[in-house]
Amino acid sequence: MKWKSGQLEALENEWFEKYHPIIHGYLFAQTQNIHLADDLAQETFVKAWENRSVYQEKGQAKAFLFQIATRCLKDFYRKKREVLCDETAWTRLEKVSGEPGPEEMMTVSEEVWQLRRTMAWLSESQRQILTMRYFGQLKFSEIAGVLEMPLNTVLSHAHRGLTLLRERMRDGKMDGIMKEGEK
């Protein structure tokens, strides 16, 4: 596809404005490090720009960007072989997912704390799939494309992850927050 100069600039601005918070939130949820998420998000958009000829106009921009972000993340871990965890950095993810009003602050912070603690029990693939689904708002078919996994495998990981979350949170206030029918 041949892009005109003005179209490219408009596309770049539109994608950045629309998808940067989602991509950044996803990367932050995966790394637990705000600075690393900043760097990886920047790298994602640079690579998207460099590979704009690969993107097809009728393709899904969000899925295209998530695929690049996931590859950047895998490349980083392949190079560094380190897992980072910064408990205080979750505050950025809370902002990406929506800020509660003053009355809800106590309940939400308690629920977020419980969710954070429970997410640590999930496997990496379960955590990644649920993060893409519920924070990145990707469809399961898009997640399958991004992770290069069969759709049924993605659905299975999501189901098992949600089941584990429900079991671990049964006694807390988060019980039933995500229903199984959300596909």
Amino acid at 21: P
DSSP 136: S
Angle at 53 between CA 48 and CA 59, to 5 degrees: 75
Q: What's the confidence (pLDDT) of residue 40?
A: 94
Q: Are 148 and 117 found together in one domain?
A: yes
Which residue segment(s) compose the domain that 79 sits in? 1-98
- Name the H helices within 32-60: 34-50
**Distance, CA of 16 to CA of 132 (rounded, Å):** 18
Q: What's the confidence (pLDDT) of residue 181?
A: 45
Token code pair at residue 140: 């399961």
Q: Are 1 and 84 found together in one domain?
A: yes
User: Helices 61-80 and 5-31 meet at what angle, rounded to 10?
Assistant: 50
Final residue in a domain of this structure, among 41, 64, 98: 98
Q: What's the confidence (pLDDT) of residue 107?
A: 53
**Distance, CA of 123 to CA of 30 (rounded, Å):** 12
**Distance, CA of 37 to CA of 70 (rounded, Å):** 12
Amino acid at 177: I
Q: Are 56 and 109 found together in one domain?
A: no
Q: What's the confidence (pLDDT) of residue 81?
A: 54
**pLDDT tens-place values along the chain, 183 residues long:** 344 555 556 566 788 888 999 999 889 888 878 899 999 999 999 898 888 777 765 568 888 899 899 889 888 877 765 444 444 444 444 444 444 444 444 455 566 667 767 777 788 889 889 888 887 788 899 899 888 899 999 999 999 998 888 888 775 544 444 444 444
Q: Are 90 and 138 found together in one domain?
A: no
Number of other residues whose CB lies within 10 A of the CB of residue 77: 15
Q: Are 15 and 91 found together in one domain?
A: yes
Q: What's the confidence (pLDDT) of residue 101?
A: 47
**Exposed / middle / buried, residue 27 (Cβ in 10 Å: 0-12, 13-18, 19+):** buried
Q: Are 17 and 93 found together in one domain?
A: yes
Q: What's the confidence (pLDDT) of residue 109?
A: 57
Domain of 17, CATH number, reads 1.10.1740
Q: Please count the structural domains in the chain.
A: 2
Helix, strand counts (H, E) of the chain: 8, 0
Q: SS3 for 56?
A: coil
The pTM assigned to this predicted structure is: 0.57
Q: SS3 for 3?
A: coil
Q: What's the confidence (pLDDT) of residue 53?
A: 75
50 half-sphere exposure, CB direction, 13 A CA radius: 7
Q: What's the confidence (pLDDT) of residue 28?
A: 86
Q: What's the confidence (pLDDT) of residue 88?
A: 42
